[in-house]
Amino acid sequence: MYYGPHTEEDRQAMLAFLGAETVEDLFADIPAELRLGRPLDLPEALDETALRRLFRGLAAKNADADRFVVFAGGGVADHYVPAAIAPLLARGEFLTAYTPYQPEVSQGTLAGIVEFQTMMCELTGLDVANASMYDGASATAEAALLALDQTKRSRILCPDTLPPDVRATIRTYLSGPGGEVDVVPCPEGSFTSERLQAALAARPGAYAAVVVGYPNYFGIVEDLAALCEVAHRAGALAIAYCDPIALGLLESPGALGADVAVGDGQPLGNAMSFGGPSFGFFAARDRFIRRMPGRIAGLTRDLSGREGSVLTLQTREQHIRRARATSNICTNNALNALAAAIYLALLGPAGLREVATACVQNAHAAMERLRAAGARPAFPGPFFKEWVVELPDPREDAVDRVLAVGLARGVVAGTPLAREYPALSRHLLVCVTEARTREEVERLAAVIEEAASS
């Protein structure tokens, strides 16, 4: 396949206009010794039919959620995605536009961003939100950088109940300015103010921020209000890493004292897509607006007094401020953020609350069912849509056995934890969203029983 329109006549006419014999002449500025001098070694070109065959073949080797019942969680989950989202996102005017540098012909994008920002403020209970980040983890890392900049301190504190990929991302981003991340072990599966207090006291005045999962990686709803208060007493910012679906039901992080709320937007109408693209949201209190990373759209008026919107506060950004920008981010995940705005508009406050409620109800009913199958919850504490089960099978390879039996029975049984939490080597993180059914939970229970007895 080739997508260019030129005929040989077109090319010849253009070359003649340029006074060139062949297209090679237009590459005369590339020294001969730097030319490749051979065709690239790539597989042969394919037409659409052959592409479909190839890609369908690859797709068929994956245990997708159409063919398998997915109980894996840990940041990405099989939530309901309304049918209206995909056709709207497929509109070329959204799909094939770029960053709204020319606001007069980008009002659709800009209005969509302001709507998205409004919805993120409403979900998080905070004053300002940006147009999106790459994902939840990088949004959290940028929030940590903001905290370093704001407090002139160099350490970030988080519990080991903050998702491991989020912790790892913060660590990578902090390696630039030379910041450090300290992780507090929480063997009971949730963070307590006492543990936080002790950790902060161990290095007085050192911590720029405390980052807490809300709910945490194990699904447990941390006592965010208490943690924020303790963080603030130590002069640290409180950053909440949130499941946006949970925010339809739980008190908002802003109301509980968080200074910055971040999270991953996959659950808001985005495909799981093997972990990306989704988007990160980033919301904060007013006073941080000029330190925030990324694009922000704002309302204004045109010459004739019509309301419109523009990218604003751009002096924070790399294309203006260069080495002194608040972040290097340029392209973000705008289309995925638009999916979230459409999702939230389709559901409304009542629908989002229903999704969140169904998650809690399904997950708790499933927890009881798995407990009856011998898979006990590993941690106490109120959980939202996922929890850690300790498998009944005492063998060290219990997790592999459950996963393998699950795949044979059309079930992705959960997220294994051993790589990040060696103490949880016989445990699975199980996620039960609003999209699961009782029958599907029965299948999971049967898988766990079968694996234990095989």
Partner 1 sequence: MNGEGQAPGAVGLVGLAEPSIYARSRPGRRGVRPPAGFAPEVDVADALLGVRLREVPPGLPETSEPEVVRHFTRLSQLNYAVDTGFYPLGSCTMKHNPRIGEELAQLAGFARLHPAVPEEAAQGALELMWRLEEALCEISGMARATLQPAAGAQGELCGMLIVRAYHASRGEGRRKVIVPDSAHGTNPATAAMAGFEVVEVPSDARGGVDVGALSRALDGDTAALMLTNPNTLGLFDENIAEIARLTHEAGALLYYDGANANAILGVSRPGDMGFDIVHFNLHKTFSTPHGMGGPGAGPVAVRDFLAPFLPVPVVERRREGSRETFRFDWDRPQSIGRLRSHYGNFGVLVRAYAYIRALGAEGLRRVSEDAVLNANYLMRLVARDFDLPYDRLCKHEFVVSAKGLRERTGVRALDVAKRLLDFGYHPPTVYFPLIVEEAMMVEPTETETKETLDDFARALHAIAEEAAREPDRLREAPTRTPVRRLDEAGAARRPVVRYPAG
Nearer to partner 1, 4 or 204 (CB): 4
103 is a contact residue toward partner 1 (CB under 8 A): yes
Q: Smallest distance, Å, CB 413 to partner 1?
A: 9
45 is a contact residue toward partner 1 (CB under 8 A): yes
Q: Smallest distance, Å, CB 398 to partner 1?
A: 14
12 is a contact residue toward partner 1 (CB under 8 A): no
Nearest to 283 by CA among 125, 48, 84, 90: 125
Q: Smallest distance, Å, CB 450 to partner 1?
A: 17
Q: Smallest distance, Å, CB 189 to partner 1?
A: 15
What 8-state DSSP symbol labels residue 184? E
Q: Smallest distance, Å, CB 204 to partner 1?
A: 25
Q: Smallest distance, Å, CB 408 to partner 1?
A: 11
The β-bridge partners of 396 are none
202 is a contact residue toward partner 1 (CB under 8 A): no
DSSP 19-32: T-SSGGGGGTTS-G
Tell me how far apart the alpha carbons of residues 424 and 389 are, in angstroms, rounded to a whole number: 9
408 is a contact residue toward partner 1 (CB under 8 A): no
Nearer to partner 1, 44 or 453 (CB): 44
307-311 and 155-159: which strand pairing?
unpaired
Tell me how far apart the alpha carbons of residues 16 and 320 are, in angstroms, rounded to a whole number: 40
The β-bridge partners of 398 are none
128-129 and 280-284: which strand pairing?
antiparallel
370 is a contact residue toward partner 1 (CB under 8 A): no
59 is a contact residue toward partner 1 (CB under 8 A): yes
Q: Smallest distance, Å, CB 236 to partner 1?
A: 22
Tell me how far apart the alpha carbons of residues 240 and 253 are, in angstroms, rounded to a whole number: 7
How crowded is residue 92: how many other Cβ atoms within 10 Å of its Cβ? 7
216 is a contact residue toward partner 1 (CB under 8 A): no
Burial 306-332 (b: 16+ CB within 10 A, else e): eeebbbebeebbbeeeeeebbbebeeb
The residue written with tokens 């950004």 in the block is 317
Nearer to partner 1, 207 or 387 (CB): 387
What 8-state DSSP symbol labels residue 43? P
Q: Smallest distance, Å, CB 374 to partner 1?
A: 20
Residue 116 carries which side chain, given as an amino acid letter?
F
Binding-residue pattern over the window 127 to 146 for partner 1, x denoting contact by CB under 8 A? -xx-xx-xxxxx------x-
Q: Which stretch binds partner 1 (CB under 8 A): 146-154, 199-207, 232-240, 342-350?
A: 342-350
How crowded is residue 273: how many other Cβ atoms within 10 Å of its Cβ? 11
How crowded is residue 78: how many other Cβ atoms within 10 Å of its Cβ? 23
Q: Which two tokens stand for residue 35?
A: 């030319």
Nearer to partner 1, 235 or 277 (CB): 277
200 is a contact residue toward partner 1 (CB under 8 A): no
Residue 278: Cβ-neighbour burial (10 angstroms; 0-12, 13-18, 19+): buried
Q: Smallest distance, Å, CB 201 to partner 1?
A: 25
33 is a contact residue toward partner 1 (CB under 8 A): yes
- Binding residue for partner 1 (CB under 8 A) from 144, 148, 238, 247? 247
- Binding residue for partner 1 (CB under 8 A) from 209, 210, 347, 444? 347
Nearer to partner 1, 30 or 202 (CB): 30
Nearer to partner 1, 34 or 201 (CB): 34
411 is a contact residue toward partner 1 (CB under 8 A): no
Residues near 28 by Cβ (< 8 Å), separated by ≥ 6?
none
- Binding residue for partner 1 (CB under 8 A) from 55, 205, 287, 376? 55
# binding residues, partner 1 (CB under 8 A): 213
Q: Interaction with partner 1 in 284-323: which residues (CB under 8 A)? A: 289, 295-304, 306, 308-310, 312-315, 317-323
- Give the C-alpha distances (Å, rounded to integers) separating 121 from 222, 270, 284, 454: 21, 19, 8, 51
Nearer to partner 1, 32 or 201 (CB): 32
- Binding residue for partner 1 (CB under 8 A) from 225, 285, 371, 450? 225
- Give the C-alpha distances (Å, rounded to integers) separating 211 from 65, 214, 250, 300: 32, 10, 18, 35
